[in-house]
Amino acid sequence: PQPDAMAAILAVLLCACSAVRSAGMRTGARVVPRARPMALGNAAELERSQWELLLAHHEGFWKGVWESVDANGAPIDELEADSAWVRGKGGDTLIQVNTYFVGSVRANCEVCQDSVQARQLQVGSYACGQMPGVRLAGRGVAFGPRVTKRGALTAEVGLRDGASRLRVLFAYEPRYAPSGGPPTSLALGRVTLIREALDRPPLREEPREASVARPSGAAADFWRENDGTPLLGLWRGERAVHSADGVRHETVSPMHLRACRCAVGGAAGAE
Protein backbone atom coordinates (compact mmCIF):
# COMPACT_ATOMS: atom_id res chain seq x y z
CA PRO A 1 0.00 0.00 0.00
CA GLN A 2 1.12 3.53 -0.80
CA PRO A 3 1.17 6.44 1.71
CA ASP A 4 -2.07 7.90 0.34
CA ALA A 5 -3.76 4.51 0.77
CA MET A 6 -2.52 4.30 4.35
CA ALA A 7 -3.82 7.80 5.01
CA ALA A 8 -7.22 6.81 3.66
CA ILE A 9 -7.30 3.72 5.88
CA LEU A 10 -6.41 5.79 8.92
CA ALA A 11 -9.04 8.40 8.10
CA VAL A 12 -11.75 5.74 7.83
CA LEU A 13 -10.71 4.14 11.12
CA LEU A 14 -10.62 7.44 12.98
CA CYS A 15 -14.02 8.45 11.63
CA ALA A 16 -15.46 5.08 12.62
CA CYS A 17 -14.11 5.61 16.13
CA SER A 18 -15.15 9.20 16.76
CA ALA A 19 -17.72 10.42 14.25
CA VAL A 20 -21.30 9.72 13.19
CA ARG A 21 -22.89 9.79 9.80
CA SER A 22 -24.64 13.04 8.91
CA ALA A 23 -28.41 12.60 8.79
CA GLY A 24 -30.60 14.50 6.32
CA MET A 25 -27.93 15.87 4.02
CA ARG A 26 -30.41 18.07 2.11
CA THR A 27 -31.63 19.83 5.23
CA GLY A 28 -28.24 19.98 6.92
CA ALA A 29 -29.49 18.12 9.99
CA ARG A 30 -26.84 16.05 11.72
CA VAL A 31 -26.11 14.20 14.95
CA VAL A 32 -22.82 14.82 16.74
CA PRO A 33 -21.72 12.59 19.62
CA ARG A 34 -20.54 14.37 22.74
CA ALA A 35 -18.51 12.55 25.34
CA ARG A 36 -19.48 13.44 28.86
CA PRO A 37 -16.88 15.51 30.70
CA MET A 38 -14.48 13.76 33.04
CA ALA A 39 -16.23 14.89 36.18
CA LEU A 40 -15.61 13.14 39.47
CA GLY A 41 -19.16 11.86 39.55
CA ASN A 42 -18.90 9.80 36.35
CA ALA A 43 -15.17 8.97 36.16
CA ALA A 44 -15.79 5.49 37.57
CA GLU A 45 -18.66 4.94 35.13
CA LEU A 46 -16.44 5.94 32.20
CA GLU A 47 -13.67 3.58 33.33
CA ARG A 48 -16.16 0.75 33.63
CA SER A 49 -17.63 1.38 30.17
CA GLN A 50 -14.15 1.49 28.61
CA TRP A 51 -13.26 -1.83 30.26
CA GLU A 52 -16.47 -3.46 29.08
CA LEU A 53 -15.89 -2.27 25.50
CA LEU A 54 -12.37 -3.74 25.53
CA LEU A 55 -13.68 -7.11 26.69
CA ALA A 56 -16.66 -7.13 24.34
CA HIS A 57 -14.77 -6.36 21.13
CA HIS A 58 -11.17 -7.47 21.61
CA GLU A 59 -11.00 -10.46 23.97
CA GLY A 60 -10.11 -13.68 22.17
CA PHE A 61 -7.47 -15.39 20.00
CA TRP A 62 -6.69 -13.46 16.84
CA LYS A 63 -4.72 -14.78 13.84
CA GLY A 64 -3.46 -12.36 11.24
CA VAL A 65 -0.98 -11.04 8.74
CA TRP A 66 1.24 -8.04 9.51
CA GLU A 67 2.41 -6.01 6.49
CA SER A 68 4.90 -3.19 7.10
CA VAL A 69 5.99 -0.34 4.82
CA ASP A 70 8.34 2.58 5.36
CA ALA A 71 7.45 6.28 5.27
CA ASN A 72 7.65 6.23 1.45
CA GLY A 73 5.35 3.23 1.09
CA ALA A 74 8.11 0.76 0.20
CA PRO A 75 7.53 -2.75 1.62
CA ILE A 76 9.66 -3.70 4.63
CA ASP A 77 8.43 -7.14 5.63
CA GLU A 78 5.37 -9.35 6.02
CA LEU A 79 4.80 -11.98 8.68
CA GLU A 80 2.09 -14.03 10.32
CA ALA A 81 1.30 -13.51 13.98
CA ASP A 82 -1.15 -14.60 16.65
CA SER A 83 -2.45 -12.09 19.17
CA ALA A 84 -4.02 -13.56 22.32
CA TRP A 85 -6.16 -11.26 24.46
CA VAL A 86 -6.97 -13.51 27.43
CA ARG A 87 -8.14 -13.09 31.00
CA GLY A 88 -5.50 -13.20 33.71
CA LYS A 89 -5.76 -15.10 36.96
CA GLY A 90 -8.95 -14.04 38.73
CA GLY A 91 -10.52 -12.73 35.54
CA ASP A 92 -10.09 -9.05 36.41
CA THR A 93 -7.27 -8.38 33.93
CA LEU A 94 -6.88 -8.78 30.18
CA ILE A 95 -3.39 -9.78 29.02
CA GLN A 96 -2.21 -9.25 25.45
CA VAL A 97 0.45 -11.69 24.19
CA ASN A 98 1.71 -11.62 20.60
CA THR A 99 3.33 -14.63 18.94
CA TYR A 100 5.37 -13.79 15.82
CA PHE A 101 6.22 -16.55 13.33
CA VAL A 102 9.55 -15.28 12.05
CA GLY A 103 10.86 -18.30 10.16
CA SER A 104 10.64 -22.01 9.48
CA VAL A 105 13.03 -24.95 9.40
CA ARG A 106 12.42 -27.58 6.74
CA ALA A 107 12.72 -31.21 7.86
CA ASN A 108 15.46 -33.31 6.25
CA CYS A 109 13.41 -36.51 5.97
CA GLU A 110 10.15 -37.40 4.27
CA VAL A 111 8.37 -38.61 7.41
CA CYS A 112 9.36 -35.62 9.56
CA GLN A 113 7.42 -32.39 9.95
CA ASP A 114 8.75 -28.90 9.32
CA SER A 115 9.15 -26.69 12.38
CA VAL A 116 8.27 -23.01 12.75
CA GLN A 117 10.32 -20.49 14.67
CA ALA A 118 8.11 -18.36 16.90
CA ARG A 119 8.85 -15.40 19.15
CA GLN A 120 6.41 -14.55 21.95
CA LEU A 121 6.07 -11.15 23.59
CA GLN A 122 3.66 -9.86 26.25
CA VAL A 123 2.53 -6.49 24.94
CA GLY A 124 0.24 -5.24 27.68
CA SER A 125 -1.96 -5.93 30.66
CA TYR A 126 -5.24 -4.07 31.16
CA ALA A 127 -7.78 -3.80 33.96
CA CYS A 128 -10.73 -1.60 34.82
CA GLY A 129 -9.32 1.83 35.67
CA GLN A 130 -5.83 0.75 34.62
CA MET A 131 -5.81 1.37 30.86
CA PRO A 132 -3.43 4.30 30.30
CA GLY A 133 -3.22 5.40 26.70
CA VAL A 134 -6.24 3.32 25.64
CA ARG A 135 -9.48 4.86 24.38
CA LEU A 136 -12.45 2.99 22.92
CA ALA A 137 -15.57 4.12 21.06
CA GLY A 138 -17.90 1.33 20.01
CA ARG A 139 -15.92 -1.13 17.88
CA GLY A 140 -13.03 1.31 17.47
CA VAL A 141 -9.96 1.54 19.69
CA ALA A 142 -6.87 3.75 19.92
CA PHE A 143 -3.64 2.84 21.72
CA GLY A 144 -0.79 5.19 22.52
CA PRO A 145 1.38 6.97 22.35
CA ARG A 146 3.74 4.35 23.79
CA VAL A 147 7.53 4.22 24.07
CA THR A 148 9.20 0.93 23.16
CA LYS A 149 12.36 -0.52 24.66
CA ARG A 150 14.29 0.70 21.63
CA GLY A 151 13.13 4.28 22.15
CA ALA A 152 10.55 4.37 19.35
CA LEU A 153 7.17 6.04 19.81
CA THR A 154 4.16 4.02 18.64
CA ALA A 155 0.47 4.76 18.15
CA GLU A 156 -2.24 2.39 16.95
CA VAL A 157 -5.86 2.54 15.81
CA GLY A 158 -8.11 -0.45 15.22
CA LEU A 159 -11.64 -1.36 14.17
CA ARG A 160 -13.47 -4.65 14.61
CA ASP A 161 -16.13 -5.91 12.21
CA GLY A 162 -17.76 -9.21 13.11
CA ALA A 163 -15.07 -11.87 13.49
CA SER A 164 -12.43 -9.75 11.75
CA ARG A 165 -10.33 -6.82 12.90
CA LEU A 166 -8.17 -4.22 11.15
CA ARG A 167 -5.38 -2.36 12.96
CA VAL A 168 -2.84 0.22 11.79
CA LEU A 169 0.34 0.72 13.82
CA PHE A 170 2.59 3.77 13.39
CA ALA A 171 6.17 3.69 14.69
CA TYR A 172 8.24 6.88 15.00
CA GLU A 173 11.99 6.60 15.47
CA PRO A 174 14.23 9.13 17.29
CA ARG A 175 16.51 11.31 15.21
CA TYR A 176 19.83 12.60 16.54
CA ALA A 177 21.94 15.62 15.65
CA PRO A 178 25.32 14.93 13.97
CA SER A 179 27.03 16.32 17.06
CA GLY A 180 25.35 13.73 19.27
CA GLY A 181 23.33 14.29 22.41
CA PRO A 182 19.67 13.47 23.09
CA PRO A 183 17.17 12.96 20.23
CA THR A 184 16.12 16.16 18.50
CA SER A 185 13.00 14.87 16.75
CA LEU A 186 10.91 11.86 15.77
CA ALA A 187 10.41 10.60 12.23
CA LEU A 188 7.92 8.08 10.86
CA GLY A 189 9.85 4.88 10.30
CA ARG A 190 7.26 2.14 9.85
CA VAL A 191 3.54 1.72 9.19
CA THR A 192 2.12 -1.75 9.87
CA LEU A 193 -1.25 -2.88 8.54
CA ILE A 194 -2.62 -5.78 10.61
CA ARG A 195 -5.50 -7.89 9.22
CA GLU A 196 -6.85 -10.40 11.73
CA ALA A 197 -9.61 -12.94 12.17
CA LEU A 198 -10.80 -14.73 15.29
CA ASP A 199 -9.37 -18.23 15.63
CA ARG A 200 -12.72 -19.44 16.94
CA PRO A 201 -15.53 -17.40 15.34
CA PRO A 202 -19.07 -17.41 16.79
CA LEU A 203 -20.98 -20.69 16.42
CA ARG A 204 -23.90 -18.88 14.83
CA GLU A 205 -24.10 -15.90 12.53
CA GLU A 206 -27.25 -14.16 11.40
CA PRO A 207 -27.74 -14.75 7.66
CA ARG A 208 -26.93 -11.62 5.70
CA GLU A 209 -27.04 -10.85 2.03
CA ALA A 210 -23.57 -10.22 0.62
CA SER A 211 -23.21 -6.93 -1.25
CA VAL A 212 -20.39 -8.26 -3.48
CA ALA A 213 -19.15 -11.70 -4.46
CA ARG A 214 -17.02 -13.54 -1.93
CA PRO A 215 -13.35 -13.62 -3.04
CA SER A 216 -11.33 -16.80 -3.39
CA GLY A 217 -7.87 -17.76 -2.22
CA ALA A 218 -6.05 -16.08 0.63
CA ALA A 219 -8.33 -13.04 0.54
CA ALA A 220 -11.25 -15.23 1.68
CA ASP A 221 -9.60 -15.75 5.08
CA PHE A 222 -10.39 -12.15 6.05
CA TRP A 223 -13.64 -11.72 4.13
CA ARG A 224 -16.72 -10.56 6.02
CA GLU A 225 -20.08 -9.71 4.51
CA ASN A 226 -21.42 -6.20 4.73
CA ASP A 227 -23.45 -5.80 7.94
CA GLY A 228 -25.55 -3.01 6.48
CA THR A 229 -23.81 -0.16 8.33
CA PRO A 230 -23.58 2.75 5.88
CA LEU A 231 -20.06 4.07 5.38
CA LEU A 232 -20.64 6.26 2.34
CA GLY A 233 -21.80 9.81 2.85
CA LEU A 234 -20.83 12.96 4.72
CA TRP A 235 -19.30 12.39 8.15
CA ARG A 236 -19.03 15.01 10.87
CA GLY A 237 -17.97 14.68 14.48
CA GLU A 238 -15.60 15.67 17.21
CA ARG A 239 -12.62 14.23 19.00
CA ALA A 240 -11.70 14.21 22.67
CA VAL A 241 -8.03 14.91 23.40
CA HIS A 242 -6.99 13.44 26.75
CA SER A 243 -3.95 14.90 28.51
CA ALA A 244 -2.63 15.56 31.98
CA ASP A 245 -4.56 18.85 31.96
CA GLY A 246 -7.91 17.14 31.36
CA VAL A 247 -10.07 16.58 28.29
CA ARG A 248 -10.32 18.98 25.35
CA HIS A 249 -13.11 18.58 22.78
CA GLU A 250 -12.37 19.60 19.19
CA THR A 251 -14.44 19.57 16.02
CA VAL A 252 -12.95 17.44 13.24
CA SER A 253 -13.06 18.41 9.59
CA PRO A 254 -15.95 16.85 7.64
CA MET A 255 -15.09 13.90 5.41
CA HIS A 256 -17.14 12.77 2.42
CA LEU A 257 -16.82 9.09 1.44
CA ARG A 258 -17.97 8.33 -2.11
CA ALA A 259 -18.05 5.17 -4.22
CA CYS A 260 -15.45 5.10 -6.99
CA ARG A 261 -14.42 2.86 -9.84
CA CYS A 262 -11.12 1.12 -9.28
CA ALA A 263 -9.23 -2.07 -10.08
CA VAL A 264 -10.18 -5.01 -7.86
CA GLY A 265 -8.26 -8.26 -8.33
CA GLY A 266 -6.99 -7.11 -11.70
CA ALA A 267 -10.48 -6.35 -13.05
CA ALA A 268 -10.60 -2.67 -13.93
CA GLY A 269 -13.88 -0.85 -13.64
CA ALA A 270 -15.27 -2.78 -10.64
CA GLU A 271 -16.95 -0.73 -7.92
Q: What is the pLDDT of residue 232?
A: 73
Give the pLDDT of residue 117.
79
Residue 252: predicted pLDDT: 83
SS3 for 230?
coil
User: Phi/psi at 110 (nearest 5 deg)?
Assistant: -70, -30
> What pLDDT sits at residue 12?
45
Query: Which regions of the chain are under pLDDT 50?
Result: 1-3, 5, 12, 14-41, 202-211, 218-219, 222-223, 227, 266-271
Predicted local distance difference test score (pLDDT) of residue 182: 84
Q: Which residues of 149-176 are buried (b: 16+ CB within 10 A; e: fewer)?
A: eeebbbebbbbbeebbbbbbbbbbbbee
Domains and CATH numbers, the chain: 3-105+114-202 (2.40.128.20)
Q: What share of the chain is helix, strand, coil (3-state, %, to 5)?
A: 15, 50, 40
Q: Can you give the pLDDT at residue 101?
A: 87
Which pLDDT does position 43 carry in this prediction?
Answer: 83
Residues 6+ apart with CB under 8 A from 141: 17, 53, 54, 57, 58, 134, 135, 157, 158, 159
